[in-house]
Amino acid sequence: MNKPYVYITRKLPEDQIKPFKDDWEIGMWESETEPVDKETLKKEARRADGLLTMLTEKIDEELLNDVPNLKVIANMAVGYDNVNVEAAENKGIIVTNTPDVLTDTTADLAFGILMAAARRIVEAADYIRDNKWDNWSPLLLAGSDIHHKKLGIVGMGRIGQAVARRAKGFDMEVAYYNRSRKYEVEEEGLAVYESFENLISTSDFVMSLVPLTNETEHLFNGDVFRKMKKEAIFINASRGKTMDEKALYEAVKGGEIKGAGLDVFEEEPISSDHPLLTLKEIVCVPHIGSASKETREKMMNLSLQNIQSVLKDEEPKTPVH
């Protein structure tokens, strides 16, 4: 009996895939950094029983129309807006993701870029690197306090709750807006619920942690930035398309808000001439929310375990629906 064929769209460490080699025939894209090209992905998906994909791979209806053997798509991320889940389910293909294992790591990064933007840490590091530090002055690179300020979190899922716990350690006032009330969050004392309008207009820091949907695309737009406090800092650690980058650029450049910390962008990757990189008030990092060695290895393993379960006709650990 032939082994099932599993295709992995990025090169993973040998110690991750070795436990599955007895059960599967494994194909793998040869690069750790460059995404698989569209034609190769189509060809491999046509043959595969299982796919392990990254956010860079677009698993759309066109691709899914020609995958006669495919049973499972394991997306190595929490988000899965790169996969047409409805089209997959219509074909009986199970889609899985990697929640929980990256919650704390992503929350660390989200709060880290908040701190970096507020305290001008990247700008200050460059100040020394550029040999500009000649003397001390009272307001040299003076940023904004974080402690006792108000953090407004939009999207109170697992990561939002983890960020709120970190904020409490800084004696921050934490409010949240979510499509549905999270009473357990309020009972725990992590955050108070506010309307979206009130949250964006009264928070010192506004953080996007929402999934990308039709409703959240460009949720943070010019109108929203204009309603924020002039001293407010916007943080996005969710999906790039939840914000209008041009509107954010204009808001920061025009002094409508003080700055931003971004881990995500509308189109990724961005290049060094991107307009947002011209503003020292904006801290940009390359979608590294879950990028600790420990967490990425957990994400790899969970994705592989999900494929294993489906190919054995068992329930996957983390199906998206």
pLDDT at 1: 66
- List beta partners, residue 25: 5
User: Is 188 a known active-site residue?
Assistant: no
- The domain that holds 70 is classified in CATH as 3.40.50.720
Neighbours of 158 (CB within 10 A): 16
Q: Are residues 220 and 206 in the same domain?
A: yes
As a whole number of angstroms, the distance between CA 248 and CA 225 comes to 7
- From the candidates 10, 166, 287, 296, which is the catalytic residue? 287
Question: In the structure, what pLDDT confidence band is assigned to residue 321 with cuts at 50, 70 and 90?
Answer: confident
- DSSP per residue over 287-306, as a string? S-TT--HHHHHHHHHHHHHH
pLDDT digits (tens, 9 = 90+) for 46-79: 999 999 999 999 999 999 999 999 999 999 999 9
Q: Are residues 107 and 97 in the same domain?
A: no
Q: Which residues, 6 or more positions from 29, have their beta carbon under 8 angstroms from its beta carbon?
A: 8, 9, 10, 11, 35, 36, 40
In a domain? residue 317: no
Q: Are residues 157 and 297 in the same domain?
A: no
Domain count, the chain: 2
As a whole number of angstroms, the distance between CA 245 and CA 81 comes to 19
Domain limits for position 81? 5-101+293-311
Q: Are residues 96 and 225 in the same domain?
A: no
Give the amino acid at 278: T
Q: Which residues, 6 or more positions from 184, have their beta carbon under 8 angstroms from its beta carbon?
A: none
Q: Are residues 238 and 297 in the same domain?
A: no
Q: Above pLDDT 70, what percent of the chain?
A: 100
Q: Are residues 23 and 140 in the same domain?
A: no
Q: Does the predicted model carry a pTM greater than 0.85?
A: yes
Under DSSP, is residue 192 helix (H, G, I), strand (E, B) or coil?
A: strand
User: Is 268 a known active-site residue?
Assistant: yes
Q: Are residues 256 and 133 in the same domain?
A: yes
- The Cβ-side half-sphere exposure at 172, using a 13 Å CA radius, reads 29
Average pLDDT over residues 86-110: 97
Q: Residue 222 has which token pair? A: 């010019």
- Mean pLDDT, the chain, whole residue set: 97
pLDDT digits (tens, 9 = 90+) for 241-262: 999 999 999 999 999 999 999 9
Q: Are residues 253 and 122 in the same domain?
A: yes
Q: Are residues 111 and 260 in the same domain?
A: yes
Q: Are residues 229 and 183 in the same domain?
A: yes
In a domain? residue 60: yes
Q: Are residues 127 and 273 in the same domain?
A: yes
H/E run at residue 109:
helix 103-119
Average pLDDT over residues 298-309: 98
User: Is 217 a known active-site residue?
Assistant: no
Torsion of CA 286, 289, 294, 298, to 10 degrees: -110
CB-based contact 98:77 (threshold 8 Å): yes
- From the candidates 34, 61, 188, 268, which is the catalytic residue? 268
pLDDT over threshold 90, residue 45: yes
- From the candidates 10, 239, 256, 296, which is the catalytic residue? 239
pLDDT digits (tens, 9 = 90+) for 9-27: 999 999 999 999 999 999 9
Q: Are residues 244 and 176 in the same domain?
A: yes
In a domain? residue 320: no
pLDDT digits (tens, 9 = 90+) for 203-250: 999 999 999 999 999 999 999 999 999 999 999 999 999 999 999 999
